[in-house]
């Protein structure tokens, strides 16, 4: 049987569908699936070894949360261009060099969003330009302290945890 998809909501950031899919054993099942264009996130590194974290107000979780800069991919946009834009907008830094850390699926149980993860180096200050609906505080933190924040449960954001842990592993932490 052909996949059946019914649109429930189409917004600026996501679409929600009711979709019928054939399972590997042949049965049909209905799923609520959030469709997302994907995004990119960046772990900015200062010359002194500190990582640039942000504290951002997130209404979905009821307050401020520790994160790394990230954004949604525009149609046809390269993930590296996306993180370059978001790094400047959210932190007021521009990077001269980039390294791809990997990618992740953010919420595999109900969403198809793929997030590309980067490390940015050789930062220089530039004017920040957060979007009208963003409230952001920029907080440079020593890498070891950021990793301890993950271990203590202070950093709950998955893309931030994964980026810090992957980079920390590469650095021998």
Tens of pLDDT, residue by residue over 76-112, are 999 999 999 999 999 999 999 999 999 999 999 999 9
- Provide the residue ranges of all domains of the chain, joining segments of one domain with +: 4-35, 40-100+117-170
pLDDT digits (tens, 9 = 90+) for 111-144: 999 999 999 999 999 999 998 999 999 999 999 9
Q: How far is CA 57 from CA 10, 36, 66, 133, in A?
A: 24, 21, 9, 9
User: Exposed, middle or buried by CB within 10 Å (0-12, 13-18, 19+), for 35?
Assistant: middle
Active site residues: 134
Q: What is the pTM of this model?
A: 0.92
CATH architecture for residues 40-100+117-170: Alpha-Beta Complex (3.90)
Alpha-helical segments (H) within the chain: 79-91, 143-151, 158-170
């Amino acid at each position: 049987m052909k996949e059946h998809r019914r649109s429930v909501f189409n917004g600026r950031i996501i679409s929600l569908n009711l979709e019928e899919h054939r399972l590997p054993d042949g049965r049909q099942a209905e799923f609520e699936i959030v469709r997302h264009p994907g995004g990119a996130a960046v772990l900015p590194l200062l010359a002194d070894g500190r990582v640039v974290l942000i504290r951002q107000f997130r209404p979905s979780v009821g307050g401020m949360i520790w994160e790394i800069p990230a954004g949604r991919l525009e149609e046809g946009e390269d993930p590296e261009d996306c993180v370059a834009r978001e790094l400047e907008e959210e932190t007021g830094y521009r990077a001269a060099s980039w390294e791809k850390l990997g990618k992740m699926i953010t919420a595999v149980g109900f969403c198809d969003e793929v997030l590309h993860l980067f490390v940015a180096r050789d930062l220089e200050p530039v004017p920040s330009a957060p979007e009208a609906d963003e409230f952001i505080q920029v907080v440079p933190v020593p890498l070891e302290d950021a990793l301890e924040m993950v271990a203590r449960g202070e950093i709950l954001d998955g893309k931030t945890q994964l980026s810090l842990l992957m980079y920390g592993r590469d650095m021998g932490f």
